[in-house]
Structure formats: C-alpha cells, structure tokens
Amino acid sequence: MPKKLRFAIGAGLMVAAVAYLIVTAVRNTAEYYLTVGEVKARQTELSGQMLRVAGRVDAGTIAWDPSTLTLKFAMSQPPPDASGAGLKPVAVSAGANFTVICRGQPKPDMFAPGRDVIVEGLLTPAGVIEARQVLTSCPSKYAPKQPK
C-alpha cells in the first residue's frame, strides 16, 4: 500500500503542476472576447485593455497604405444571427462602430468590405482600437447555404 501511495503522490504532484501551469497562464494571457456592441456598451471600463473584438468591416471606410503597411477601417456590429456564431451579445448598443488601425502587418488576403473579422488589440481612451492583428474569416469552407 505505501508503494501505491507513493505513486499516487507522484502522480498527484504531476497533475497539480499541470493545473498550476494552466491557472497561471490563464491569469497572464486571458483577453476579453467581445463584439463591437459589447465593447461600445462598456467602453470606459475596457479602455486601455487588450481585447479581441469581433465585428464586420464597414464598406467605404477602408484605407490601406501599402508602403507603410497601415490599414485603417471602421468595424461595426454585424446584424444578429448572420454571423459570429455562438457570440451572444450581453449588452448591445445598436449602430455602434469603432475605428481600427493596424500598423506593420500586410493586409490579409481575405480582407474586404462586409467581411467578418476578429481584431486583436488595445482599446485606446480615444476609442480607437490599435490592432496587433486582424484575422479574417479565412477558409470558411464549411459555410452554410447562402441564399442565392
């Protein structure tokens, strides 16, 4: 029995170590994942934080400077159901949008007006999202049937 106990303790320590790693890593790396509407609703509280924001690129707002790799666009809340699967808006203010500036990254190939994007970045007090990364809905190969 003591042998079993000794091994149970060893295995337990191992499990505890993994749990500890997970907990500390979550604490250090977690980011809020919100929609544009949710961010707007809690803008003051979230200002200065790293966020992941899901939204839709507004047509006619895209400015792309290929020589400095600066991408600027406005992003707004997509209409409900149409996209952002699984994102249930908690508190939404309609018609909200944010200006996003992403510097030093190539423009993603799938980036286009009306596309759904996820922006990772910092919400400045001025209400601009300084993006570290803009992710587009890339090989959306399992897209549902689109009405044609």
Position 10 contacts other proteins (CB under 8 A): yes
* Residue 135 binds other proteins, judged by CB under 8 A: yes
Angle at 133 between CA 43 and CA 23, to 5 degrees: 75
Give the interface segment with other proteins, choosing from 12-20, 55-63, 93-101, 122-130 (CB under 8 A).
12-20
**Is residue 59 close enough to count as binding other proteins by CB under 8 A?**
no
Q: Which is nearer to other proteins, 37 or 126 (CB)?
A: 37
* Whether the Cβ atoms of residue 98 and residue 72 lie closer than 8 Å to each other: no
- Residue 53 tokens read as 């924001």
- The whole-angstrom distance between residue 72's C-alpha and the CA centroid of its chain comes to 17
CA nearest 136: which of 75, 63, 89, 66?
A: 75
Give 9 or 126: the residue with its C-beta nearer to other proteins: 9
Hey, which residues does 21 pair with through a beta bridge?
Answer: none
- Within 13 Å, how many C-alpha atoms sit on residue 101's CB side? 10
127 lines the binding site for other proteins (CB under 8 A)? no
Least distance between other proteins and beta carbon 93 (Å): 17
Site map (CB under 8 A) of other proteins, residues 67-106, x = contact:
xxx-------------xxxxxx-x-------------x-x
